[in-house]
Structure 1
């Protein structure tokens, strides 16, 4: 036999990988894994002989994933070199050369060299080592020594079944916590996310420790899982295997995370096709459904093992309560009394979750869950077509903790899919963007949980308006069902809100809601984005905007339900979205709209009256502070809009700063005067490209700008306010505020605009957002309103402001909204004549923006 050298082996590995790539789409993934595992087995056995280790009393043992024969292109090569007694220095040198050679070949080697005694000692002390040893497989070498290891591992004092099980459950719980107890993270990990391959390994390990079964087939033969469960696990495992194998083929270094750019390549390799991101979303839908299946069955089998093999309760300790003629509560676990009732009377499934709400400490026994699982696979007709089921379904919403105790487990175990025909289409449905952190079904469940959280006293400080509204309404069924349907039509194409409105109207009619309720529910689904768009991307201080919004909403009942749904929707989309700034925006729009309803819909709110009220309240604040100066001369120089768009606190702050100010430039930054953000107040004589200079300076400090209010006094001085936060939404601390004050002042004094970082955000690379420019309310003569949608690349606002300067446009107001990879910004502009832009000016602005912003992100 010719000796191997590292370059030969690298060449063989490259050839193997190329063959796998060439034949991947049409080859069963199990064959690929077996072929690669056999390649490693054959190579290690040859090298074992080449390095003179075949003539020793050593055993070469594959452990971990290699022991399970689950080898992927970038898997670690984990093995144990086992001896009965301590090795001689000469033998140690041979072993070291063997392992170093593998490193030189480019393998990620996980090698351990132990005696039998060391295996026993270290295995008992470390769960990971014990698990690896339990999965050991002899490759070559001394068979007697390996048999002694097997005997050692099977001894009762080497991790007894209960200790091993509890340790593995703890390990699993800690892993779930790292992923926030959800499978539906934006960029999931194939191996470690809840429902990933580690959950399958968990089942393997428990079965292995219990009765030495390792593969799914052996576990099935042992009776530990049902044939139906075996089919589900096998199908899900095969898909995860294929995704992981494809991922490893496109990567150079070991990783199991499905990052966005990788999702595109893996989907192509797996043959998923479609317009836009359809292929990726279809692949990820199947991926998340596989995670959900594995996670659910892992939970059921965990309960089953604990109940049937570890709990030993005497007859005297059993406590039973008969819940109804179908269910029994035994030691806080709900048991079926008639095993075939779910098949015979499917509506009884809903009683199970009613009992969960009635008994807050109860859990579902694994036998009951397994019967439910099997019955659901056989269910052909949607449960909602049964009148008895509809009655039971509606009854759930009147129960305490209806969402957490009933709807969440109904979704987890597939009952919502069986009940609502449209639900299946959104299970595992991902949206390929940086805005939505969860799949559509997971997001919807989180919306429901956020709605229910408004009843918790702890949330009152965070969501005062929603908490007050929700706690004062005794029947919340209407809004809960609306939340269930608000995104149910996503993924179908077309306007998901309009399609969802049709779906909920049919569903509500079937469930006996009256015409007024159905109209309200359909309107809420159709308009569930209305308040979000208005508050974040419109001028809510404009009475006409408030009037238009109020006309759409029509009455206070709808307004109350809409703000609750909107806030829950935002909070459930991404945990980083809700902050004090957004709370202030929505509270302002809500209060203005209530005032409009109370005043009547004959005419808009009086903005002059609101401005005068703000002045009066500002004066009261100043007087309470002992401020005695006359602010009339200062305010006489300020435009009317300044008093409308500034809060009384801000007006008082500005007056205290400016009444005695005699300098040229004043920059003050505070956290006390702008709800939800850090206020940057600027007072100076107007100068060319002022807005561009300021936003460039703020951007250079890596801060987020949320709004800009531009006011120019009659004396040519500007009173501009920017609301900023750190990139994570936090307010600026003292040192950051002083640093920014100094930077803005220096920029305005020097006239030099700071250069922004040219480093691009790698997360934006997989995304393509086409720049879109929309002009709103073009009949206005005083100003032009423009909405801009573009890729949120570094320095975007600085580029936009540069274009405004080039076209000699004045900025009056701006709202900056970032939704993942997309910026959705609102601007109010005038031309050199301080009038609305002409058609030609709008056309030129649109062309400039599209040409400049459609260039690739730096």
Structure 2
């Protein structure tokens, strides 16, 4: 043993605990010096010797009716620092009271020593019955390993497990395969979640275990080497599985060394410490990202080979008696039952363009899958091949044809990535395969995000996309050729991880691709623009004042025409949805739709003058008036009295439903202070309407109170009436994006009313978010459109720390600045907020005032 276990005359809890602690210290100190298999074997032997000595110490070795058997992962000899100690105590007869007491003492002693014990005491018949009823119990028993006691009983158990009717091969396979299906669904069918589970994520250790279990039930092989000898896998597959398993074992062992409680999730904070143990280094987050790239590639390799070998087992061992139906697809491919097979084994080597033809057939025949023999030939051909498939003219032609086929993304692009064809086709793909972004904003690796963007575009063709994505559904379904948009999506993030502006670098890459693939100059210009400007609409809609005609005109000038606007809208929405499933909501949909509508109007009226909102303002007034007449008994005179106090921008920035709601509230409650909160009038958020006489520090009071109640603020609209009253609206959600429920709304109403009724400044109790600890975000203050004399626009980038808005508003109050508008955007751990401000003279900030503001924000946000 690397770390010798020291047997004592009599073990006590403190002695075992001390040896366990010493073992862990040895593993931490020697982790980089020893092969991971040695460390795992050493820990397994340590546990074996502890159990065997205790078995004797508690007098159980003198019981000929008892057998101590390791099961599950312990039976496989896969003991990590926090692994459960799973064992079976097999008894030939029902245990008497004395023996039962000894067994309880034995198990309790192990718990007292700090082991997580999973155990069962069963007779042989009870084992058989439990195994037949529960596939998990059966699997654990199949991995049984003798430790101590009656050896003949262990052999009898093995004979029971080898009975032909004890989980026959097909039933066992189907049960274990169904476990995999359900596990994959829990992880969204991707290996590329950025905080993966080493054991349960697709491609994780459970996928390796699935191969072990199938081979174990079929041949009795208990590890990869024995599985290779049995002929169940090929030498090339063995080498890849061994390499991937070795890396996953290292990561899991390191993770267990830094944790106190059992867990297999690689959370961001843990990734940093694990990378240090594995000696991945680099400036910033480069060490973590290097480690995680290898980790995700290992997951993908295991997932791919697991899929291939499961197919192989089903086809060659379970379906051998099925009637064979063969139909020819073309000179190179045929259909064997429901799987695509090669007609000649060397097709992929001699005619590599037919690698693309394979996936073209998948788009034509949605009922077909790929035969395991074809996958094996594909894998071998890709391993042997040098150069890229995109260099072949015929392959380029087939690749472009794919994008106009039914379900091109789901049936061709996704499996092409899975089986390694995309990186064999595109030189750029290999760099982003498994490339993570160490942040809380992106949920997936870069390659997975790109594929999800493509899938979202394809989803816009589905009838059920009309409700959540009405504009995109209409645009995308009317396109006669969707290739340009698909190619733009394929390249929009392809240059990430190289340093520099990924959008600019990606635009160069897509131009080279387009020239190589024969696109004309107009198409190349469109592709280049889409990739370079793919964030333009998202930034404009979420971080600019889109009701400002200058903002709309500037955006329209950048877009140039309606065709580009349509393309960019679809790409923007797909990109947002594919980044993080929680990002898209009806609030963002409203922002994008409003910008799309304004820009369309700008194109229609021409680019020579600013968009005139007079028509929209009048339309909002008339619609709101109709709603009030329909639902209230308010007189036209009363309505007009209230509306005369409001500036025109009030009617532009609020919907008719909001205007009618506010009017009704003010008519019924002619008080000095009114706070009302509702989910009914603002798309995608809970709206807070604040009406009161303008007062110092109003914004600070509101945002501090909202923060104290643990709501997220998304938008703040500050409108002051002609007679000095505020008609302010704030859009908030719960921290998880949900709308606020009734009791939460009433509680916030009460708190805001109290805060605004007093001159006392509220204090915010800050509870720090532990998820932010691994992240560093540099505070950056930027001033936009400095030529304006009436107002100052400011962007703030900072760590999304608790109480951020309260701190920012405190600075505004301190410097006597007026806030006209705010857009609050949280991008994972990063706040990207936009404010429109004036100074105490209701003018744009001077150069000195801007410098002072930036300095104070840096000081306040840096303070702990």
Using the size of structure 2 for normalisation, the TM-score is: 0.97
Q: In structure 2, what is the equivalent of residue 173 of structure 1?
A: 181
Q: In structure 2, what is the equivalent of residue 28 of structure 1?
A: 35
Q: In structure 2, what is the equivalent of residue 51 of structure 1?
A: 58
Q: In structure 1, what is the equivalent of residue 477 of structure 2?
A: 471
1:544 aligned to 542, 545, 550, which one? 550
Q: In structure 2, what is the equivalent of residue 434 of structure 1?
A: 440
Partner Cα separation in structure 1 for residue 399 and residue 216 of structure 2? 41
Deviation of the 1:669 alpha carbon: 2.4
Deviation of the 1:675 alpha carbon: 2.0
SS at match of 1:33: helix
Partner Cα separation in structure 2 for residue 111 and residue 733 of structure 1? 46
Deviation of the 1:628 alpha carbon: 2.8
Q: In structure 1, what is the equivalent of residue 366 of structure 2?
A: 360
Residues 116 and 836 (structure 1), Cα distance of their counterparts in 2 relative to 1, 3 Å cut: same
Moved more, 664-673 or 20-29: 664-673
The 8 Å contact of residues 696 and 756 in structure 1, kept in 2 or not, is answered as yes
Deviation of the 1:70 alpha carbon: 0.7
The 8 Å contact of residues 700 and 754 in structure 1, kept in 2 or not, is answered as no
The question of 1:37 aligning with 2:44 is answered yes
Moved more, 826-835 or 39-48: 39-48
The question of 1:122 aligning with 2:122 is answered no
Partner Cα separation in structure 1 for residue 755 and residue 838 of structure 2? 25
The question of 1:686 aligning with 2:694 is answered yes
Counterparts of residues 546-561 of structure 1 (less than 5 Å):
546-561=552-567
SS at match of 2:62: coil
SS at match of 1:539: coil
Deviation of the 1:493 alpha carbon: 0.8
Moved more, 745-754 or 340-349: 745-754
Once the two structures are superposed, what CA deviation does each residue of 1:772-819 show, in whole Å capped at 9, x if it has no partner?
111111111111101111111222111211111111111000001111
Q: In structure 2, what is the equivalent of residue 264 of structure 1?
A: 272
Partner Cα separation in structure 1 for residue 355 and residue 848 of structure 2? 65
Once the two structures are superposed, what CA deviation does each residue of 1:573-620 show, in whole Å capped at 9, x if it has no partner?
000000010000000001111111111111221245543443344344
Q: In structure 2, what is the equivalent of residue 526 of structure 1?
A: 532
Counterparts of residues 185-204 of structure 1 (less than 5 Å):
185-204=193-212
Partner Cα separation in structure 2 for residue 653 and residue 75 of structure 1? 59
The 8 Å contact of residues 670 and 679 in structure 1, kept in 2 or not, is answered as yes
Q: In structure 1, what is the equivalent of residue 774 of structure 2?
A: 766
Partner Cα separation in structure 2 for residue 564 and residue 821 of structure 1? 26
Deviation of the 1:564 alpha carbon: 0.2
Moved more, 816-825 or 648-657: 648-657
5+ unaligned residues in a row in structure 1: which ranges? Answer: none
Q: In structure 2, what is the equivalent of residue 658 of structure 1?
A: 666
The question of 1:302 aligning with 2:321 is answered no
Residues 55 and 497 (structure 1), Cα distance of their counterparts in 2 relative to 1, 3 Å cut: same
Partner Cα separation in structure 2 for residue 791 and residue 702 of structure 1? 17
The CA RMSD measured in Å over matched residues stands at 1.6
Once the two structures are superposed, what CA deviation does each residue of 1:624-681 show, in whole Å capped at 9, x if it has no partner?
5564322444333323332332233323333333346531112222333222222221
Once the two structures are superposed, what CA deviation does each residue of 1:236-265 show, in whole Å capped at 9, x if it has no partner?
000000000101111111111111110000
Using the size of structure 1 for normalisation, the TM-score is: 0.97
Partner Cα separation in structure 1 for residue 239 and residue 106 of structure 2? 42
The 8 Å contact of residues 629 and 659 in structure 1, kept in 2 or not, is answered as no
Residues 148 and 662 (structure 1), Cα distance of their counterparts in 2 relative to 1, 3 Å cut: closer
The question of 1:675 aligning with 2:675 is answered no
The 8 Å contact of residues 697 and 753 in structure 1, kept in 2 or not, is answered as no
Partner Cα separation in structure 2 for residue 551 and residue 611 of structure 1? 24
Deviation of the 1:748 alpha carbon: 1.5
Once the two structures are superposed, what CA deviation does each residue of 1:71-111 show, in whole Å capped at 9, x if it has no partner?
11111111122222223333222222222221221111112
Partner Cα separation in structure 2 for residue 134 and residue 656 of structure 1? 72
1:787 aligned to 771, 795, 804, which one? 795
The question of 1:215 aligning with 2:223 is answered yes
Counterparts of residues 73-92 of structure 1 (less than 5 Å):
73-92=81-100
1:350 aligned to 333, 352, 356, which one? 356
SS at match of 1:785: strand
SS at match of 2:266: coil
Deviation of the 1:751 alpha carbon: 3.8
SS at match of 1:750: coil
The question of 1:481 aligning with 2:484 is answered no
Partner Cα separation in structure 1 for residue 816 and residue 627 of structure 2? 39
Once the two structures are superposed, what CA deviation does each residue of 1:308-364 show, in whole Å capped at 9, x if it has no partner?
1111445xx433221001111122211111111111211111111111111111111
Deviation of the 1:771 alpha carbon: 1.3
Partner Cα separation in structure 2 for residue 549 and residue 609 of structure 1? 21
2:329 aligned to 317, 323, 331, which one? 323
Deviation of the 1:541 alpha carbon: 0.6
Deviation of the 1:389 alpha carbon: 0.5
1:629 aligned to 636, 641, 646, which one? 636
SS at match of 1:828: strand
5+ unaligned residues in a row in structure 2: which ranges? Answer: 1-7
2:298 aligned to 290, 297, 300, which one? 290
Q: In structure 2, what is the equivalent of residue 455 of structure 1?
A: 461
The 8 Å contact of residues 770 and 854 in structure 1, kept in 2 or not, is answered as no
Q: In structure 1, what is the equivalent of residue 18 of structure 2?
A: 11
Counterparts of residues 722-741 of structure 1 (less than 5 Å):
722-741=730-749
Residues 92 and 832 (structure 1), Cα distance of their counterparts in 2 relative to 1, 3 Å cut: same
1:96 aligned to 91, 94, 104, which one? 104
Q: In structure 1, what is the equivalent of residue 819 of structure 2?
A: 811
Q: In structure 2, what is the equivalent of residue 160 of structure 1?
A: 168
